[in-house]
Amino acid sequence: MDQVQQYIIPWSIGIICSLIVLFLCIKKPFYGRRLLALLFLLGTLANVYLAWIYPRDYLVFGRFTWLDSYRHFIYMILFRQAMWMGGILVALHAYLAYTFWQKGPLPRVASFLAIFLLLLLVPLGFGSAFPASLLLLIGVVYLSRDSMNLTEA
């Protein structure tokens, strides 16, 4: 319980931010995309720190996951292979930040990758500010549907 109390403020801020992003994705898609781009940029920076500066911090996420398979992956694989696995996450986040920042229709590949990444975050539970990842996922789905409607019109 002490661990939960330690992270309650960042968890709350994450949920509030994701609600704001979801609202903007629905009401003002341009600004929703920009905020998502900034969040993916923050993800890029966070994974640079986690993978290349202090990979031990990846272990924190293992405490909060709901799935034993995720816990095993974090403790036994991700932590030990942080340099290259974190590099993949850095590249993925950077690509998503770039594509979400661009004007015009959202590429389907970017939509798919963002949805996939956000789905992978869900089992981290409290460690991914659950349900923030689901709220962001809904926003990305809405933006991708909206983007498809723009290209069809």
7, 23, 84, 116 from 35: Cα distances, Å: 23, 11, 27, 18
Cβ–Cβ contacts within 10 Å for residue 79, how many?
Answer: 18
Q: Are 148 and 140 in contact (CB under 8 A)?
A: no
Q: Are 147 and 106 in contact (CB under 8 A)?
A: yes
**What does pTM read for this prediction?**
0.86
**Could you list the pLDDT tens digit for every one of the 153 residues in the chain?**
566 677 788 888 989 999 999 999 999 999 999 999 999 999 999 989 988 888 888 788 888 888 898 888 888 888 788 889 889 999 999 999 999 999 888 999 999 999 999 998 888 877 777 899 999 999 999 999 877 665 443
For the chain, the structural domain boundaries read: 2-152
